[in-house]
Chains A and B, each alone.
Chain A
Amino acid sequence: MSHLTDLPPWAALLVCGLMLVGAATTLIGSLGLLRLPDFYARLHAPTIATSGGTILLCLASILCFAVLQSRWVFHEVLIIFFVTVTTPVTLMLLGQATLYRDRFEEQQGVPRKQKPAPGEE
């Protein structure tokens, strides 16, 4: 097995940078769930973690193992692809469920069905 200490300094720096920025992005995404005011606004927070965070972490992994094993490693691309394709589906489902419930309960500030907003072309 290869060891992480075999990583040349330039690659180690780059991998560390990607990891730290990716982890920070994911943390901010989770923080957003805490800080944003309502459910619809909170829908936006996890997408930062899934798009930015996952991509950066996977890039770090690709780079690290490609340099260590001196060959191209691409299967992390599948993680990026499936996370980016499946998260929106969950979020849309949650969003539509909330919208349905809020309309049913006649909450304030929720757009009515089949009534385009004024100024719509």
Chain B
Amino acid sequence: MRTWFPYPLLSIALLLMWLLLSQSVTPGSIVLGLVVSTVLAWVTLNLQPARSRLHRWSRIAGFILRVVGDVIRSNIAVTLIILRAGRRPVNAGFMTVSLDLDDENALALLACVVTATPGTAWLEYDRRQKILLFHVLDIENEDLWRKTITRYAADLKEIFE
């Protein structure tokens, strides 16, 4: 099984993508999608990405909902900051927070979430000291940002480790 499907999740995702792109679920497109996704998974094998195991599937939906909520909220917040930027000086700054995450894929996901959310940008992660340096647009709510990132990290730790 492992030799034929080295990355089952990746293969499933690629198959789904193929079906969405071709916009059909006829047997022909499913077979073609299976071939493409299996071959691409073998190609990925040469890149030797870090493997991780998803432990708690039930927490994923909650995590996604939380991220979507935060993205909507910070979209509105950052929009207001930009519109007011002429009158009120922007109070941006650097922040550090210590993370308790080891899994590479979890860290990558956290980096994407943090940067995709307007108002926070991931800058540097020190692996030895496990300290993340990031930039926030609104440094007044420093505690809030720290709490948000720590909560994301805790969620990801539950899902991945």
Which A residues fall within an 8 A CB radius of B? 25, 28-29, 31-32, 35-38, 40-41, 43-45, 47-48, 50-52, 73-75, 77-78, 84-85, 87-89, 91-92, 95-96, 99, 110-111, 114, 116-117, 120-121
List the A side residues contacting B116 at CB < 8 Å: 47, 50-51, 84, 87-88
Query: Are the CB atoms of A40 and B122 closer together than 8 Å?
Result: no
Return chain B residues, CB-CB under 8 Å to A75.
20-21, 23
B121 touches which of A38, A44, A84 (Cβ 8 Å):
A44
A87 to B17 alpha-carbon distance, docked (Å): 19
Q: Does B111 contact A44, Cβ atoms closer than 8 Å?
A: no
When A28-B83, A50-B116, A92-B111 are in contact, do A38 and B92 touch as well, CB less than 8 Å? yes
Residues on B with C-beta less than 8 A from A73 are 23
* A59 shortest CB reach to chain B, Å: 13
Interface presence of B159 (CB below 8 A): no
Chain A residues, CB < 8 A from B111: 88, 92
Residue of A nearest to B115 (CB): A88
Cα(A52)–Cα(B75), bound, Å: 7
Please tell me if B60 contacts chain A, counting CB pairs below 8 Å: no
Residues B71 and A78 in contact, CB atoms below 8 Å apart: no
- Of A31, A51, A110, which contacts B117 at CB under 8 A? A51
Measured between alpha carbons, how far is A91 from B134 in the docked complex, in Å?
A: 12
| Interface of B (DSSP majority class) | mixed
Bound Cα distance A40, B71 (Å): 19
What 0/1 readout, one digit per residue, does chain B (73-95) give for beta carbons within 8 Å of chain A?
00100110011011001101011
Asked whether, in the complex, the Cβ of A91 is within 8 Å of the Cβ of B115, the reply is yes
Q: Which residues of B contact A (CB under 8 A)?
A: 17, 20-21, 23, 71-72, 75, 78-79, 82-83, 85-86, 89-90, 92, 94-98, 111-112, 114-124, 126, 129, 131, 133, 135, 137
Residues of A within 8 A of B20 (CB): 74-75, 77-78
| Complex Cα spacing A39 to B2, Å | 46
Please state if B119 and A111 are interface contacts (CB–CB under 8 Å).
Answer: no
Question: Is the CB–CB distance between B75 and A25 below 8 Å?
Answer: yes
Docked Cα-Cα span, A44 to B115, in Å, equals 8
Q: Which of A38, A44, A50 contacts B78 (CB 8 A)?
A: A44
